[in-house]
Amino acid sequence: QVQLQESGPGLVKPSQTLSLTCTVSGGSVNSDNVYWTWIRQTPGKGLEWIGYIYYTGSTYYNPSLKSRLSMSIDTSKNQFSLKVSSVIAADTAVYYCASELRGPSYYPMDVWGQGTTVTVSS
Amino acid sequence: EIVMTQSPATLSVSPGERATFSCRASQTVSSNLAWYQQKPGQAPRLLIYDASTRATGIPARFSGSGSGTEFTLTISSLQSEDFAVYSCQQYNNWPRTFGQGTKLEIK
């Protein structure tokens, strides 16, 4: 059973870069049938899908955030990461990592991390 | 992107009664629709996928229906542990999108 755990700073200053890591256990980030995904949740906007990274390094970012996003994957540590640049207060949220199966059909996000709260404030 | 609209925003129901949640997509998502339950301080938990298939370990009192643009989640007889926020999500198109959630509260 795959488990995911987010980690990273809980406080980021405005205009700086938010960096989070998701550690995968019980599975491998090298899986060719998984999209490794980030989602965030704010009181005002609810759940917002941020994007995914595939084991090859290919990505798809939400167009609303695309210009500020960067995702990477580290197979040696079995982790994948998210960076959001030039953060503002509206980036304050609970950030989740999750997995979505990739295949000939369509699949939901069935495994989620517990979430990590990030506050943007000076 | 596909906009998911849930109604109502809040649902007040007594334990033992039935609760019905609605979710509408701005364009067809076929049956690629999931429902999640979320309790305070917890991550969303997958309840229903493919519009009507219960995820592993989900009790039979939870059921989903619909296809295309109109979907429904029903809890047949509410238990105390069911009071939470319920969100729908489409996985037919990129970017994936969620509804804003319906809060189920005790009447």
Dist CA A46 CA B97 (whole Å): 10
**Does position A104 have pLDDT exceeding 90, yes or no?**
no
Rg (CA), chain A: 14
Residues of chain A whose beta carbon is less than 8 angstroms from a beta carbon of chain B are: 37, 46-49, 51, 60, 62-64, 96, 100, 106-110, 112-115
Q: Tell me the mean pLDDT in the region A11-38.
A: 97
Task: List the Cα angle B96/A61/B39 in 5-degree steps.
Answer: 45
Contacts of A49 in chain B (CB under 8 A): 95-98
Q: Tell me the mean pLDDT in the region B70-78.
A: 97
**Does position B97 have pLDDT exceeding 80, yes or no?**
yes
Dist CA B46 CA A112 (whole Å): 9
Task: Output B33 or A104, whichever has higher pLDDT.
Answer: B33
Please check whether residue A80 is in contact with residue A92, taking contact to mean a CB–CB distance below 8 angstroms: no
Q: Which pLDDT value is given to residue B40?
A: 93
Nearest by CB to residue A106, choosing from B91, B99, B101, is B91
Nearest by CB to residue A108, choosing from B30, B89, B97, is B89
Q: Which pLDDT value is given to residue B39?
A: 96
Q: How many CB atoms lie within 10 A of CB B60?
A: 7
Nearest by CB to residue B92, choosing from A37, A106, A112, is A106
Please check whether residue A26 is in contact with residue A1, taking contact to mean a CB–CB distance below 8 angstroms: yes
Q: Tell me the mean pLDDT in the region A70-76.
A: 96
Q: In what order do the strands lie in the sheet with A18-25?
A: A3-7, A18-25, A79-84, A69-74
Residues of chain B whose beta carbon is less than 8 angstroms from a beta carbon of chain A are: 1, 30, 32, 34, 42-46, 49, 55, 87, 89, 91-92, 94-101
Nearest by CB to residue B95, choosing from A63, A110, A112, is A63
3-class state of residue B52 by DSSP: coil
**Does position A44 have pLDDT exceeding 80, yes or no?**
no
Cβ–Cβ gap B95/A110 under 8 Å: no
Range of lowest pLDDT (A23-27, A36-40, A41-45, A109-113): A41-45
Contacts of B102 in chain A (CB under 8 A): none
Per residue in B20-63, pLDDT tens? 999 999 999 999 999 999 999 999 999 999 999 999 999 999 99
Q: Tell me the mean pLDDT in the region A32-36.
A: 95
Per residue in A82-100, pLDDT tens? 999 999 999 999 999 999 9
**Does position A2 have pLDDT exceeding 80, yes or no?**
yes
